[in-house]
Amino acid sequence: MAKREQHAVTIYTRYERFWHWSQAALIFLLAITGFGLHGTHDLLPFDKGVMLHTFAALGLILLWIFTTFWNFTTGNWRQFLPNTKGLFAVIRYYAWGILFGEDHPHKKTLRRKQNALQGLAYLTFMVLIGPALWFTGIIYLFYDLWNEIPGAADGLFWVAFLHTAAAFLMVTFVIIHIYMTTTGKTPLHYIKTMISGVERVELTEVERAYLAEEHPERLKE
């Protein structure tokens, strides 16, 4: 096995951080306005809620299109490939080891920023929860175009039902995700990493030499 040393490296590029935080803000806004429309609270008048929800949704769909393009052109999509190696060790750690101060079994590397469980969670988010929301959301948005076909009212009921169910899954994902961010070295450690982009990771000599040559600005020490 190649010799590895710890270095502080920019692991999240500027675009990744922009994508992450703008997506977080839009999902937050969509959840607040969406659950207002659903009748869970009445912080906003209905028409303003619909307008904000629609604009935020269009913003999020645009962001997803750009980011999918970015993920494929940069090769970053490989980070999300399912990988069961070490999955059990990570599950055991969050269920048990974390309570007794054990070290995290996954060591972040440049090629694998995420542990196996995290990879699976993000994949579910990107291929199931996200698309379920925008797919049902767009059909909902264009109800005026199909409201005359027979059974349209029943159809709308199911579209709204599936949209709301996916929204609950999204909120569940966000709550677990935020809890997970607090489990680093300090409760704010991972949040700071997603703001600065810099994290200490193990690099092989080859990776270090590659970064020094091609991306010296990413090597912080």
Distance CA 32, CA 51 (A): 13
Kindly tell me which of 70 and 94 has the beta carbon lying closer to ligand HEM: 70
Interface positions, 63-122, toward ligand HEM (CB under 6 A): none
Does the protein bind ligand HEM through residue 125 (CB under 6 A)?
no
b/e map 58-79, b = 16+ CB within 10 Å: ebbbeebeebeeebeeeeeeeb
Alpha-carbon Rg of the chain, whole angstroms? Answer: 21
**According to CB under 6 A, which one of 10, 12, 34, 113 is a site residue for ligand HEM?**
34
Interface positions, 156-195, toward ligand HEM (CB under 6 A): 160, 163-164, 167, 170-171
Q: Note whether 167 and 133 are within 8 A (CB).
A: yes
Distance CA 138, CA 122 (A): 22
Does the protein bind ligand HEM through residue 9 (CB under 6 A)?
no
Q: Give the binding site for ligand HEM (CB under 6 A).
A: 27, 30-31, 34-35, 37-38, 50, 53, 57, 60-61, 133-134, 137-138, 140-141, 160, 163-164, 167, 170-171
